[in-house]
Amino acid sequence: MTGRARRREPRQERSRAMVERIVAAAREVLVARGYDGTSTNRIAAAAGVSPGSLYQYFPDKDAVLTEVLDRYLDAMEARVSRAFLDSVATAAPGPGTAAAVRGTLQALLDTFAAEPDLLRVIVEQLPRSPGGRRAAFAGRIDDLVTTVLLTRGAPGTEPARAMAWTVVRTVEHLTTGYVLERPGFPREVVVDELTALVAGYLDARLSGGRVASDGPS
Amino acid sequence: MTGRARRREPRQERSRAMVERIVAAAREVLVARGYDGTSTNRIAAAAGVSPGSLYQYFPDKDAVLTEVLDRYLDAMEARVSRAFLDSVATAAPGPGTAAAVRGTLQALLDTFAAEPDLLRVIVEQLPRSPGGRRAAFAGRIDDLVTTVLLTRGAPGTEPARAMAWTVVRTVEHLTTGYVLERPGFPREVVVDELTALVAGYLDARLSGGRVASDGPS
Amino acid sequence: MTGRARRREPRQERSRAMVERIVAAAREVLVARGYDGTSTNRIAAAAGVSPGSLYQYFPDKDAVLTEVLDRYLDAMEARVSRAFLDSVATAAPGPGTAAAVRGTLQALLDTFAAEPDLLRVIVEQLPRSPGGRRAAFAGRIDDLVTTVLLTRGAPGTEPARAMAWTVVRTVEHLTTGYVLERPGFPREVVVDELTALVAGYLDARLSGGRVASDGPS
Amino acid sequence: MTGRARRREPRQERSRAMVERIVAAAREVLVARGYDGTSTNRIAAAAGVSPGSLYQYFPDKDAVLTEVLDRYLDAMEARVSRAFLDSVATAAPGPGTAAAVRGTLQALLDTFAAEPDLLRVIVEQLPRSPGGRRAAFAGRIDDLVTTVLLTRGAPGTEPARAMAWTVVRTVEHLTTGYVLERPGFPREVVVDELTALVAGYLDARLSGGRVASDGPS
DNA sequence: TATGAATGAGCTTTCATTCAT
DNA sequence: GATGAATGAAAGCTCATTCAT
């Protein structure tokens, strides 16, 4: 999982089908047997394909897992972007921050909870490489949020980037954390707390407030 | 890394020394070659010890890595607790939230930045098991923060737990994330943003404010 | 040598060849270096094959040795059955017992003496598990002899089974014992003694004689 | 278990005690964990002794197991000899063969059944070396029986040796076989069958009868 | 003498990868 | 292209044996 290996782009229809089978099989094996139990031979067997064929389409084991991760992240990105933009569009610019945040959170929790087993393997077992797929994913979400924040009154690009970075990671980790940890309180509580956390922050920062120092100076 | 295996308690001074060498070697190999490159033979060689000796002190490979992780987490816990309690003690109960948060953040960033390579391997490569060492670590920090929140006016135990869970994970992930990602803005910016995020949230929630709903109720 | 593991059934001609090479190599190593000196690596090397290939055809070390043993026992069983049935068929029902026994013994001694080195390792070094291959082998011979005894006037099934058990083990152990121990007297002597032992017993028991008690009843 | 290694003869009382503890521990480990589970470290631990001390008294692992076997065989030999001689002494020279055989068999079955677990490990798992302890044991019993047979009318030394060899192995294997196999018939049946087998043979051979040929010549 | 820490060769087994068919 | 047999390095771990204390 160095993240550098890429699969070859298949041209034929037949090829596409094989790639699909292999990726699907890899995902299944990953969920069923964990990262350590996922060998190329097992993936090939689960795909009903020979090990040699697997290497026709992927340069190495890493590339297969990277592809699984990529697809997961692509799906996430599509859903997250849509949920975020929808929530933002629906909510009034000023007082609607909380509603927008809340809507996004609900959508995220739905999304993550849909496939918790795969989420678990990805978060808990897949080695993540610096500058790898996950970083790029988060970076794109950062950009999206940055853009919106700028339209909502963020005081400049740099502050907007910092705010986006802060908010995106907070929401990402706490929503996945809730799904995976299943702490002792109901989902609505996380939604409430996270909404308070994030919306309060954004409201304060977008209404021109300087960063909170140690009390009113 | 099931986290269940423990090493035998060494009795002799000599034994302690061997355990130290092995654990130190394991840490080095881990940092130098990554999780997948860390074999028992390599650890033993790095420790200047035979493979058999390693198994005299640790029941299996897992136990060695668990020990490395444990020591890291223990050190973290000590520092984090102390930083948190110091910051809390110094700050005035009401308006001092931001100061307390800021102080804790500074200490955390110092701590994590001290050994970034080890932090990276632990965060990015060590498989985390649910209910494992890291979960227990976070749980203890949760308890600590919960306690303080209750003395600071949290409206009951359950809300305090939810707030603690929220705040602890936020701070944990964003501080480590900053150290590992090295995004394009300076450290003081993260501190400012995180302070605004967390202190704003706590102030709102501790001053009796109900969770922000969609607009002014 | 738990005896439970079986090898996969080879489909290709090529596969059969590999299995043959591995089994042959295992037999050689077993004879040359004894049970304790027989490692999977050594077997693979002797077969001119990689360790990995061995495991393509056999689930574990045990299965290889079990296969060697199975083949030996199968060959034995075929020969022993045929020799026994031939000798029985040739001999007259009543007075021919001695001839039948003698014929069987000659065949057995020929058979065991043909590969004394392998016989030695199997008898002296291969661990035998109760209910394992060897027990099953003996059981099948028991059945065969029981059947013949019943046609020769044995007084009921239970007595026949007991007689068969007695005779089969006697003959098995003394013939192999003679081949392996090479005691100081010639082969014809063992044949004579064993013929007297077994034929006398069978004649007495089959002619309606009750078990010899202490003195003349 | 090459059978060539011998332990040093201990001179001190202290030494004797250690040897005793080690041998006893070896026997226990052997019974409890089988041959493969019997390591020198485990024996030493079970004996409450250090591995180093074990090597003070035994040149290698083999010597320890050989000592266990030796003691077992010595005990067997004592019992077997006594049982045999008692039975022979009690029985009348001519017609008493069956009684003598029966008495010996009863004693043997009692003896073997007393410690079936140890017997099983020794018979089924301990590698036997040609010309090793067991061969010597059997040889001494052979001598004993040969002697008695000569006093009972055996036609010369060579025939007596052959008869003894035949009878001793038969009785040894069938009695241990009965104890270990536990076939489906009661003990008295084996005793009856074996008595018929052996006594019939001896009576025939001792009364001057030539070896049974193919029917009356 | 007794200890027990230390050794290190060697074991069984796995698996990413290759290549002849 | 597709196959799957074959590879072989390397993994985790054990254990008979040694030797400094």
Total residues found in chain A within this entry? 217
Strand, helix or coil for residue D162? helix
Judged by average pLDDT, the poorest of B46-55, B201-210, D202-211 is: D202-211
CB < 8 Å to A215, chain B: 92, 95-96, 98-99
- Is the CB of residue B163 less than 8 Å from the CB of residue B202? yes
CB < 8 Å to C199, chain D: 212
Q: Which residue of A has its CA nearest to B128?
A: A124
Q: pLDDT digits over C104-135, tens only? A: 999 999 999 999 999 999 999 999 887 789 99
Q: Could C163 and D125 be called an inter-chain contact, meaning their C-beta atoms sit closer than 8 Å?
A: no
Q: pLDDT digits over C174-216, tens only? A: 999 999 999 999 999 999 999 999 999 999 998 865 544 444 4
Q: Does A95 touch chain B (CB under 8 A)?
A: yes
Residue C7 has pLDDT above 90, yes or no: no
Residue B3 has pLDDT above 80, yes or no: no
Q: pLDDT digits over A55-75, tens only? A: 999 999 999 999 999 999 999
Angle subtended at Cα C17 by Cα C14 and Cα C19, rounded to the nearest 5 degrees:
115
Determine the average pLDDT of the residues in A209-214: 46
Which tops the pLDDT comparison, C211 or B96? Answer: B96
Q: Could C193 and D166 be called an inter-chain contact, meaning their C-beta atoms sit closer than 8 Å?
A: yes
DSSP letter at C6 equals: -
Chain F nucleotides with an atom closer than 7 Å to a protein C-beta: 1-20
Asked whether residue D51's C-beta has any atom of DNA/RNA strand E within 7 A, the reply is: yes
Q: How would residue C91 be classed by pLDDT, with cut points 50, 70 and 90?
A: confident
Distance of CA B217 to the CA centre of its chain: 39
Strand, helix or coil for residue B208? coil
Judged by average pLDDT, the poorest of B68-72, B157-161, D5-9 is: D5-9
Determine the average pLDDT of the residues in D198-208: 90
CB < 8 Å to C211, chain D: 192-193, 195-196
Strand, helix or coil for residue B115? coil
Cβ density class D191-210: b for 16+ within 10 Å, e for less: bbbbbbbbbbbbbbbbeeee
pLDDT at A91: 78
Q: Could B174 and A169 be called an inter-chain contact, meaning their C-beta atoms sit closer than 8 Å?
A: yes
Residue nearest to nucleotide F10 (CA to C1'): B39
Q: State how far the Cα of B66 lies from the Cα of D19, in Å rounded to an integer.
A: 41
Q: Could B214 and A98 be called an inter-chain contact, meaning their C-beta atoms sit closer than 8 Å?
A: yes
Residue D43 has pLDDT above 70, yes or no: yes
Q: State how far the Cα of D115 lies from the Cα of D11, in Å rounded to an integer.
A: 30
Q: pLDDT digits over B168-179, tens only? A: 999 999 999 999
Determine the average pLDDT of the residues in C67-85: 94
Q: pLDDT digits over D90-131, tens only? A: 877 667 899 999 999 999 999 999 999 999 999 999 998 766
- Give the alpha-carbon dihedral of B5, B9, B13, B19, to 10 degrees: 0
Q: Could D215 and C95 be called an inter-chain contact, meaning their C-beta atoms sit closer than 8 Å?
A: yes
Q: Is B61 exposed, middle or buried (0-12, 13-18, 19+ CB in 10 A)?
A: middle
Q: pLDDT digits over D13-32, tens only? A: 668 889 999 999 999 999 99
Residue D202 has pLDDT above 50, yes or no: yes
Distance separating the N- and C-terminal Cα atoms of chain B: 49
Q: Is B155 exposed, middle or buried (0-12, 13-18, 19+ CB in 10 A)?
A: middle
Q: Could C212 and D195 be called an inter-chain contact, meaning their C-beta atoms sit closer than 8 Å?
A: yes
Q: pLDDT digits over C36-75, tens only? A: 999 999 999 999 999 999 999 999 999 999 999 999 999 9
Q: pLDDT digits over B145-198, tens only? A: 999 999 988 999 999 999 999 999 999 999 999 999 999 999 999 999 999 999
Q: pLDDT digits over C147-185, tens only? A: 999 998 898 999 999 999 999 999 999 999 999 999 999
pLDDT at C17: 87
Q: Which residue of A has its CA nearest to B181?
A: A130
Distance CA B73 to C1' F5 in A: 47
Neighbours of chain B (3+ CB pairs under 8 A): A
Q: What is the mean pLDDT of chain A?
A: 89
Determine the average pLDDT of the residues in D57-67: 95
Q: Does B1 touch chain A (CB under 8 A)?
A: no
Distance CA B59 to C1' E8 in A: 18
Q: What is the mean pLDDT of chain B?
A: 89
